């Protein structure tokens, strides 16, 4: 394994750790805060941190080089995932079992795989079909638990 591969694996574990721990923080916060307010706080904090990082690194000018198309794509992505999906997720997380909600919500790669095949024309492989099948089976098992 090359040092680049090792770094990738480390980054994947960091991602997994943070994505795995974050729902606990959110569940605790949602005991006293409405879901939409939680999203505002979360998004505001991220925006402030990113602006500071971009200003500190002198990269703020990069924002002027992005096409309208790419601004529109990221805006749509933000509204879909960062607002609508986060609101429904927070709403469910506030009232339901974290150990049941998070795995089902985290099965979104199933939708991504299907849409990638249909919209982007990505290749259908045996491995993808098996992976999609495992995802569906996992959702069913969690829902029945």
Q: Return the pLDDT at 3.
A: 86
What's this model's pTM, rounded to 2 decimal places? 0.80
d(CA 82, CA 71): 15
pLDDT of the residue at 131:
84
Q: At what angle do helices 86-95 and 35-57 cross, to 10 degrees?
A: 130
Q: Where are the domains of the chain?
A: 3-97, 107-145
Name the average pLDDT for the chain. Answer: 91
In terms of average pLDDT, the best of 15-19, 76-80, 100-104 is: 76-80
pLDDT tens-digit profile of 50-77? 999 999 999 999 999 999 999 999 999 9
Q: Tokens representing 134?
A: 């495992």
Q: Which of 73, 97, 77 is nearest to 86 (CA)?
A: 77
pLDDT in tens, 8-27: 989 989 998 998 899 999 99
| pLDDT band, residue 100 (cuts 50/70/90) | confident
Q: What single DSSP character describes residue 34?
A: -
């Amino acid at each position: 394994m090359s040092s680049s591969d090792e770094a990738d694996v480390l980054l994947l574990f960091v991602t997994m750790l943070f994505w795995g721990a974050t729902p606990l923080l959110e569940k605790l916060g949602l005991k006293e805060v409405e879901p939409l307010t939680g999203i505002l706080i979360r998004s505001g904090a991220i925006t402030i941190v990113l602006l500071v990082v971009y200003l500190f690194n002198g990269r703020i000018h990069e924002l002027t080089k992005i096409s309208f198309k790419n601004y529109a794509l990221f805006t749509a992505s933000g509204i879909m995932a960062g607002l609508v999906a986060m609101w429904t997720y927070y709403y469910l997380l506030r009232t339901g079992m974290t150990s049941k909600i998070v795995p089902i919500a985290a099965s979104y790669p199933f939708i991504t795989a299907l849409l990638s095949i249909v919209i982007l024309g990505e290749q259908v492989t045996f491995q993808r079909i098996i992976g999609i099948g495992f995802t569906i089976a996992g959702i069913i098992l969690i829902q029945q638990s």
